[in-house]
Structure 1
Amino acid sequence: MGEPFIGEIRMFSTPVHMLEKIGGWKDIWLPCDGQSYPTNRYPALYAVIGQIYGRPNAYSFNVPDLRMCAPMGASLSIGNLGSKEGSNSVTLAESQLPIHTHSIQYLINANSSSYTGTPGSDVMLTRLNAPPLTYSGNMLLAPAFITGGEGLENYMDSRTITSYGQDQANIAGHENRQPFLVLTFAIAHDGEFPQN
């Protein structure tokens, strides 16, 4: 494998708990899991990476946390070395939704529970005043598509306009990650000290 540079990060195809059973592995490597370590125990690694990945107090420092992260080359347009950017999921605002359409469903006749998406003179959006009317509280039940009644506000039945994607009440962040392969990242705390 060759002696690593202190601060070098390598990928392993084996879980940390198995790597730690390999003789000498822990003498060189620490998992990249964001953990804090004492500066006096790993002075060479601290001299190389310093506080770039966090420092909870004056006597310890953090190693990089590459769990659930994809490494990216440092760049002014992306962020400073050690910064965490991006998001695993994104919830779109209404202004970000693409232009789209919804279809309207019409009752075929007042006494029917059948409906159609085609408008015409023999179809309706409502069956108000058309028996039989069945209410649950203030809501007129199926097969009405626009509900309400005398003295009641009119509520549009959820079947009147077809939904587009998820219902507004159930919108959650959508997956925002590229395809990935999960590996173990580890950073060398011992080895060759990098020269300036």
Structure 2
Amino acid sequence: MAEPFIGEIRLFSFNFAPQYWSTCDGQTLSINQNNALFSLIGTTYGGNGTTNFMLPDFRGRTLLHANATYLEGKPGGAESVALSATSQLPAHTHALMANSLAGGTNVPQGDVLAAVADAGKTTYAPAKAAPAATMAAGALSPAGGSAGHNNMQPSLTINFCIALTGLWPSRS
């Protein structure tokens, strides 16, 4: 394996960091003991910048190339999301369909709402009679909730490690 650049990140298929490497798990390092690495990444990933700095934390993250929208070292996203009916779901309605024919039974199972021919006696029509009329919006109560749902794309975990020592990367 060629000598890495200081701060280079590589993927390893085993579950430990090789000698002179560290896992990208957000750990805090001493500036005095890792001066070269600190001079390259500074406090991009955290730390106080006087006595310590932090390595990137890739646990539970998908990696993106930095740009004007996604700044280097700034995390984003979430593994799960709780939906808010007022801000994350588009406005919509559900029509409660009924049949305009006179009902023939008081049993709702397998039937649809129907016109009432004789109050209280025949409220439902056979389901085979296609619903033809839309009831008032207030006849159907809201459903759902704001419980979280999984937001992770299909993934495979692997060990990301950063080189603590190596060649100094010169700018091109």
Does 2:61 correspond to 1:87?
A: no
Shift of 1:76: 0.4
RMSD: 2.9
Does 2:76 correspond to 1:101?
A: no
- Normalised TM-score (structure 1): 0.63
Q: Aligned partners of 1:115 and 1:162: how far apart in 2?
A: 20
> For residue 32 of structure 1, what is the amino acid of its counterpart?
C
The residue number in structure 1 matching 2:46 is 54
3-state SS of the aligned residue for 2:114? coil
> 1:37-48 counterparts in 2 under 5 A?
37-48=29-40
| Contact 1:33-1:65 at 8 Å conserved across structures | yes
> 1:27-176 counterparts in 2 under 5 A?
28-56=20-48, 58-78=50-70, 80-95=71-86, 96-98=88-90, 99-101=92-94, 103=96, 108-109=105-106, 114=109, 116-121=111-116, 122-123=122-123, 161=140, 164=143, 167-168=144-145, 171-176=146-151
| Contact 2:43-2:49 at 8 Å conserved across structures | no
Paired positions, count: 147
Higher share in helix: 1
Structure 2 portions without partners, runs of 5+: 117-121, 125-138
> For residue 119 of structure 1, what is the amino acid of its counterpart?
A
Q: Aligned partners of 2:34 and 2:95: how far apart in 1?
A: 62
Q: Percent identity?
A: 34
